Every structure is written in C-alpha cells, then in structure tokens.
Structure 1
C-alpha cells in the first residue's frame, strides 16, 4: 500500500483526535501496553505551539501518529503509534524519520520494550539511553495499619485542597524534581489539566507539611511567598480505570502517581512513611494492586520500592540517535 508523505501539524481536528484514539486503543489491545503515555494523550487537543503532531497515511487513511514535545528545546521527546492493521508497511519508519528531521536531537519513548519497537530502533540506528521501570505489588490489610504510615515528629499529613495548594505544591515538586526532564517542569496549566481529569481525587493527593517548630529549627524560609508551614513532601495517588491489574486484567490497579520530598527535608525519614500513606489510601478503596513508574538509574528509589514489596513488571525504553 503506497505511503503518502508524513504531514506535520500544530493542531489536530476533532476527527483526527478521534482517529488517533482509535489507533491507540487498537494498539493497546494488540500489544498489551499503551503506546502513548499520559502526556501525549492529554496533548492531542493542545493549543497551537505546545507540541507538534506528525500524521502518517496509507491510501489516504490515517494509520500512524507521532507527537513531538519541545521540538526546539534540549529535552525534545516523541512517542508514536501505528495501527496494528497497517503495520509492516513503512508507516512507523516514515514517522520516525520525520521526528528526527523535525528535531534531530529528539529522544523517542517505546513502551513495554516490545520486539517490534526494538527492531525499528535498531534499523534507524537508535540506542537506548534511558529506562523506566513499571513496578507493582499487592495491597492488603497490612497497608491500612496506622503504624505503617507514622510520620516523624514535627510533620503532619492532610489532603490537597484545590484553590489553596497549587502554588505550594508546584514549588515543592519543582525542587524535588529539579533534574527530572518531565516531572520537574510541570506548570500550573499542567497541574490544572490533570485536576480536570475524571480520575482526579483530592483525597488521594496527600501533602505532608512541616510544623512551625521544624521550620524555625531548620531555618527554612517560606517558598515562593507561601507562608509556613509549607509542603515538605507529598504522595499523589491515581486510580484510572485504564490502569489494569497485572494479576487480573479485569480489575483496576491503583497507582503511585508521584512521590516527592523537598530537598530541604531529605534525610529526615519522610520518603517511606509518605509512600505508606498513599498505599493506605489505595488499600482503603478496596484495590488489590498498586503500580508505579521509576527511572532505571534511580537505584535508591528502586531499592526503597523493592523493600516495600514492589517488583518490576515492565520496562519502557527511551531511544536516541547513536553518536
């Protein structure tokens, strides 16, 4: 089937968004893993200038899609998907070539380390430069035990309050993930976009604050003009029906969406109890399993999660042109 050139666009029509979602759903069903992660899906209907859309066609039908985030920046990244019914016809390679023509330094995510993705990467001279591990573990009655989530003295936990906590959380998130290419650059618009999703539940967005006595003792000034006490750590959990259990795909798994500790409070024993607080919340919802994602080079976090009973069940790989 002859290929037409890949088309680049700054925005998608509603019909194109619907078609990309059809391709995404078909690929997920065929491969057992979603080819597009959360951010690209949220950005399908993003305003002009936020991302670049690359559309691949066969016989004038949209059969493949790639999204390029930050094409002019140092952290340009892309993800792509091809309709399972139209694979092995050159669409994937055409999209890949178009991505690197638009942004030669881009990095490409491949979810699940599938053989077809590995073969495509090898054919294009790409090398693996980063891994993201998906880890999982069962939830049970033990996760509800109060002792499992005891915070150090001078700290207390409460639920995130929309309209009050956005700026304080953004400041702590930026500090905790200052060297992370995605999480550390979240903006208020990004946060509000996620808060608008059906899965958002403020009760599962847990903030840990330092009491005034801890702030005074540490000599820590307020962040971004936010009066003390400010956010010392947090655990944002997520319950998305599309996140299926690795043990029973008919059931939903909870997710450790993101856990962070402000650098000013690292080493104070907050990481483990704030993680346990989120697990207790998810267990209290009756969920039987929880998953999380962690960078492969973050061995400290992997050790912490392994110690909490998590095991690696899948690996996403980021590729870049070999130099």
Structure 2
C-alpha cells in the first residue's frame, strides 16, 4: 500500500478503471467529478492511497483537505474493486487514512448496504447528506410555461449566456458570496473554473447568468447546466439526463424572486436539447432549496452520506 502526493498518468488511469468497475457492479459512481479531476492535481494538493491485489489496483482513497478553518478533517472518497471486497483492502486503506488524520470524513455514494455496514463496523456516524433529485423534462419546460416554473424574470433583471474570457471574475465573486458556507462550491478558484470549462461537456450556451439593470457586468445570479453523457436518466437508462449543475444568487439579490425563474431558464435549455430528464444535487440541510425543488416536481432518487468518527469525539 502506498500514500502518494500525486499520481502518474498511468496510476490515474488505473483509478479511473477501478472506478468504472465499481460503478458497473454497484450501479452508482464511487468517485465524484471533483475526485476524478483531482487525479491530475499538482503534487501536494490531495493525498492518494493505493492498495494492490494480484497485480491490479484493488482499492483507492483520495483525501481532499479542508481549508475553511472550521476544524474539519479531509473529505475522503474510497473505492474497492468488487472481486476483492471483504478481503481487508478497504479496511487497510481506511486505517491508513485515519492514521494520518482521525477527523477524516468519508463519502458513501448511494448509501449502499455495504457502505452502511462498513461505517457501522467502524463506529462512523452520518455527518452530512447530499440528495440527488430528478424529474422528467416536458414540452412545457422547453417553452418556459411549466406549472410553477415560468422563466419570466422580475423587472430590472435580464438573462444571457456566460461569455468565456469576460465573465470569469464576476462569476467567481458571486459564486463565493452565494456559497460562502459551502465546503466545496464556495471555494472554487479561477483554476477550478477553467478546469471545468476545459471539460468536453462544457457548453457556455447552458451557463446562464442574470444581470441587474442597476449593476451591468455584475453577475446577480446564475444557473450552470451540464450535459454529461455519463449521467444516465433513470427513466431511460440508454438516454442522457441533463443536470442542474449549480444555481446561485448573490446575497445582495436574494429575496428578489430570482431563484424559480432562473431554475426554469436552465430547465428550458435542457428540455430544448431533447433530454428526457433532469437531475440535481442538493445538501440535506439546505431546506429552502429542497422545498423549492420539490415544488418544481423534483423527487429524491438517491442520497449520498458522509460519515465521520468526529461525532464520537464530542459525546
């Protein structure tokens, strides 16, 4: 077993292949977008723990440090190759992670029974939930006339698409303000944004920004949609689902009635592409967003759970 500050291209591809094998077996991706992007991160950005079995990568964990000053440990994703599960590899990798930082928090995507059992055996308790929600897209979405999801913005606001090379700084300022207390989204940097813009799925036509007439050039709010061929629709596994990638409203413009029409604008874009379904991810403690999305017809289809031993240190 090895703990490394960076991966070679070959090692990164081994991890991707391991992730694909696990996803095929479990029906849910074991590694998130950020983890996959961080496989190529510069040395020291994240930590990688690799364990081999019979000459092939059998288990992998990635530790993303936190820098919010809140005392939280690293965010970890861990995956074990299906053919070598229950042979101690996952336990060994997690022990190596905890030895480096006992505050480590690990994601269980889909909250599968095996993951719940792994957590219970190690006295880990849930500390965060991430809900994956979905709903069908309809012709009414495409025209902006879906019930409760009209695209008309309040007076004094206008929408346009993101302009690469022009809007980066303004978007980053609004994103940081809108997600100031979010452990991942609010900390995105220009390098992070550019990394996502370099991905094959990036399409500025699906990146909607809203400006206020009183402050041209400032991003008052935004709805970034995503169409990734790897995101499968639950209604038709052979089809791609669109995604509400992130919706944000600058605190200066919150309470002005932007959230619902802004969401609808993104749904109209995705429906106009002929996609059958739209999905999104929202934190379990974001009751306002959960309420809004539920009122727009979204329903839970999966819940990711983050576990930590830190709970026990406070009791």
Q: TM-score, normalised by structure 1?
A: 0.92
Contact 1:71–1:103 (Cα < 8 Å) also in 2: no
| CA–CA distance in structure 2, aligned partners of residues 231 and 205 of structure 1 | 12
| CA–CA distance in structure 1, aligned partners of residues 14 and 28 of structure 2 | 18
Comparing 199-208 with 69-78, greater Cα deviation is found at: 69-78
Which residue of the partner structure matches residue 26 of structure 2? Answer: 31
Structure 1: which 5+ residue stretches go unaligned?
Answer: 1-5, 216-227
Task: Figure out how many residues of one structure are paired with residues of the other and give that number.
Answer: 304
Identify which of 257, 261, 279 aligns with 1:273: 261
Identify which of 8, 27, 30 aligns with 1:13: 8
Q: Deviations over 1:171-212 (max 9, x none)?
A: 000000000000000000000000000000000000000002
Which residue of the partner structure matches residue 102 of structure 1? Answer: 100
Q: How do 1:285-304 residues align onto structure 2 when only pairs under 5 Å count?
A: 285-304=273-292
Contact 1:204–1:281 (Cα < 8 Å) also in 2: yes
| CA–CA distance in structure 2, aligned partners of residues 248 and 179 of structure 1 | 36
Contact 1:52–1:71 (Cα < 8 Å) also in 2: no
Call closer, same or farther: CA 1:307–1:242 in 2, change over 3 Å: same
Which residue of the partner structure matches residue 137 of structure 2? Answer: 139
Structure 2: which 5+ residue stretches go unaligned?
Answer: none
| CA–CA distance in structure 2, aligned partners of residues 252 and 315 of structure 1 | 20
| CA–CA distance in structure 1, aligned partners of residues 56 and 193 of structure 2 | 35
Q: Which structure 1 residue ranges, 4+ long, deviate > 6 Å from structure 2?
A: none
Contact 1:8–1:55 (Cα < 8 Å) also in 2: yes
Question: Residue 228 of structure 2: SS of its match in structure 1?
Answer: coil
Contact 2:107–2:306 (Cα < 8 Å) also in 1: yes
Q: Does 1:149 align with 2:151?
A: yes
Q: Does 1:79 align with 2:80?
A: no
Question: Residue 256 of structure 2: SS of its match in structure 1?
Answer: coil
Identify which of 157, 168, 171 aligns with 1:169: 171
Q: How do 1:49-60 residues align onto structure 2 when only pairs under 5 Å count?
A: 49-60=44-55
Question: Residue 142 of structure 1: SS of its match in structure 2?
Answer: helix
C-alpha displacement of 1:71 = 6.5
Q: TM-score, normalised by structure 2?
A: 0.94
Identify which of 41, 50, 70 aligns with 2:36: 41
Q: Over aligned residue pairs, what C-alpha RMSD do you find?
A: 1.2
